[in-house]
Amino acid sequence: MISNVHTHSVFCDGRDTPFEMAMRAFQLGFVSLGFSGHSDTGFDPCGMRDYNAYRAAVAAEKERWHGRMEIYCGIEQDYFSGRAEGWDYVIGSVHYVEHGGKKLAVDWSPEETDRIIREEYDGCAEAFAEDYYALVGRIFDVTGCDIIGHFDLITKFDEEGKIFSGARYRDAAMGAIDALTKTGAIFEVNTGALARGYRKTPYPAQWILRELRARGAEIIITSDCHNKDFLDFGYEKAVQSAWEAGFESALVLRGGKFERAGF
Ligand SMILES: [Zn+2]
Ligand SMILES: [Zn+2]
């Protein structure tokens, strides 16, 4: 049972129209497709400017595919957009930290991550990670999300743990894991960085998946898709990664509910 609820279209920073994406999803045999345009923060260039046009376009696809494939209108709500209301579901994500009076991007580029650590944090990557996970730990309370987006996004350009792996890094991540697993929110296993060639394995890292499993958290597999050719990219790797961490199922959005589907 295949599905994806983390997708971006031309209404934010994605390449394709909702119709083009839905057509491809249908060809791939999806049971459901959820759109999750980036929320408007007022400063993020990736944010949607026109929620009404987005809602109308997704509603048209809902109508078009009725009876053949379920279409949902969600949002990827950034921490700095506050509470999300009126969507089929909400993915809560931290893309920026606030430090020294500036908003600093967590996943812009390897060069920007290096620059932030060097210039904004005086070379202290742990302090950057602590700021990041402090916000992640509050993402459910702030946005009211159903799904925690890309939990350890800060490691996007550091799959091998050369920058983010020490005790302070792990403690910061554990604090967010403890806070969020108590809320019952779903954790995303996100393959987005695989399609873009930054990583060979999905987020979250294996050790985090194991901690989530030990706390009884539920997961959902997505590809954080910005291009219809990558709608199910890396799903086999995501299942393998989740399986190795002890998960035997993931959730799928179907009939208006997140239901469990075995691997
Ligand atoms: Zn995101
Ligand atoms: Zn996204």
Condensed to tens digits (0 to 9), the pLDDT of residues 155-194 reads: 999 999 999 999 999 999 999 999 999 999 999 999 999 9
Compute the distance from residue 112 Cα to the ligand 1 centre, in Å: 17
Assign 1 a pLDDT band (cuts: 50, 70, 90): confident
Compute the distance from residue 93 Cα to the ligand 1 centre, in Å: 6
Token output for 91: 């993915």
Q: CA 143, CA 235: separation in Å to the nearest integer? A: 27
What percentage of the chain reaches a pLDDT higher than 90?
A: 98
Q: CA 151, CA 145: separation in Å to the nearest integer? A: 13
Per-residue model confidence (pLDDT) at position 44: 94
Compute the distance from residue 5 Cα to the ligand 2 centre, in Å: 10
**Which residues have C-beta within 8 Å of that of residue 159, sequence separation ≥ 6?**
198, 199, 200, 201
Compute the distance from residue 91 Cα to the ligand 2 centre, in Å: 9
Q: Which residue has the tokens 């809602």?
A: 55
The class that CATH gives domain 3-262 is: alpha beta
Compute the distance from residue 70 Cα to the ligand 1 centre, in Å: 23
Give the rounded distance of the alpha carbon of 215 from its chain centre: 20
pTM above 0.85, yes or no: yes
Over the stretch 84-129, which tens digit does the pLDDT of each residue have?
999 999 999 999 999 999 999 999 999 999 999 999 999 999 999 9
